[in-house]
Structure 1
């Protein structure tokens, strides 16, 4: 074999080796590419799953919030009517105080008391509650409305409620009229 023939055989062998190496490199590249695509798919799936879980949680919170708002709305739906009725309730209480002083109006007092109790019971059935207060209770600015301060008649009444001028009312858990009080200084 001549040198020329040997060179041709060597060239053919090198070409075949390059083809094999190239094929192996292509296979490795394809395997790496498949692995990368698979990793990318898993990553995308995890992202979409996270989005879905967040959206689902947000929707559940929305349902819970709207349900609570609806219940609160039903509880206080009649608030405007009840607030409008409170001055009438106050007038009944003033009338009862005035009638008690007049001994001749005993029968009228019974009739007014009957109507007052009926009105009060109806409002109580709708969720109205009186905020109970008396002289000597601790003043709370979140619950009471101080209309004035006077010198405390006793040392123990300083900073406390001395007199309740107007009753306060709650509808459910919401205060619809704050009690007006006088506090001692």
Structure 2
């Protein structure tokens, strides 16, 4: 009976040892599984945090990029406006200079028109002087004044229009008479009744002429 009891006890102890060993294996497996799950969760959390950081970084970059692009657009807009204003100012300056030149020419032309009758009177007066009196001091003085006036007019761009012997041109000549002259060709100026003058490239006064048919 004692041997049977010992055998029973040994069997019970063996069963307990087996159960204890199985329990330890189960606990180890559970611990390993838990650690693996914890590690995976930590890895996933780290990846999510990394993605979140990357996303935040991209958002920051995009934000600053947008700010920079807007600033560049403003700079380009200001440059375009500046270029347009400079072009407009340059056109205004050129237009002003042209208008100023035209106004100066108009004013000078008006002054020349008023002086021409004085020139005509000088020429008529000198032409009416008898040949024997042309050496008089007074006549010589008037002739010098006339020549001086013509020199000044020439210096500012006033010059007489060629007429006698030239072909009639309505842009420069004003025909008031027609004559029959076989020695002259048709439409050729036979005589100048009043001198015409030009100021630079503009006609101040047309020549009054007699034209051959």
Contact map agreement 1:162 1:182 (CA 8 A) in 2: yes
Identify which of 141, 159, 166 aligns with 1:114: 141
- Cα shift readout 1:55-108 (whole Å, capped 9, x = no counterpart): 3344445455555666776677565444223112212222333334xx5xx326
Structural mapping, 1:117-156, within 5 Å = 117-126=144-153, 127=156, 129-142=158-171, 144-148=172-176, 150=178, 153-154=181-182
Q: Which position in structure 2 is the counterpart of 1:92?
A: 122
Pair member with larger Rg: 2
Q: Which position in structure 1 is the counterpart of 2:77?
A: 47
What is the count of residue pairs matched by the alignment? 178
Q: Using the TM superposition, name which of 33-42 and 66-75 deviates more.
A: 66-75
> In structure 2, do the counterparts of structure 1 residues 45 and 155 end up closer, same or farther at CA, with 3 Å as the change threshold?
farther
Contact map agreement 1:128 1:169 (CA 8 A) in 2: no
> In structure 2, do the counterparts of structure 1 residues 37 and 147 end up closer, same or farther at CA, with 3 Å as the change threshold?
farther
Unaligned runs of 5+ in 1: 2-9
The alpha carbon displacement at 1:159 in A equals: 3.6
Structure with the bigger RCO (C-alpha within 8 Å, sep 6+) is 1
Q: Which position in structure 2 is the counterpart of 1:5?
A: none
> In structure 2, do the counterparts of structure 1 residues 29 and 180 end up closer, same or farther at CA, with 3 Å as the change threshold?
farther
RMSD: 4.3
Contact map agreement 1:134 1:161 (CA 8 A) in 2: yes
Question: TM-score, normalising length from structure 1?
Answer: 0.62
Question: TM-score, normalising length from structure 2?
Answer: 0.56
Unaligned runs of 5+ in 2: 1-29, 31-39
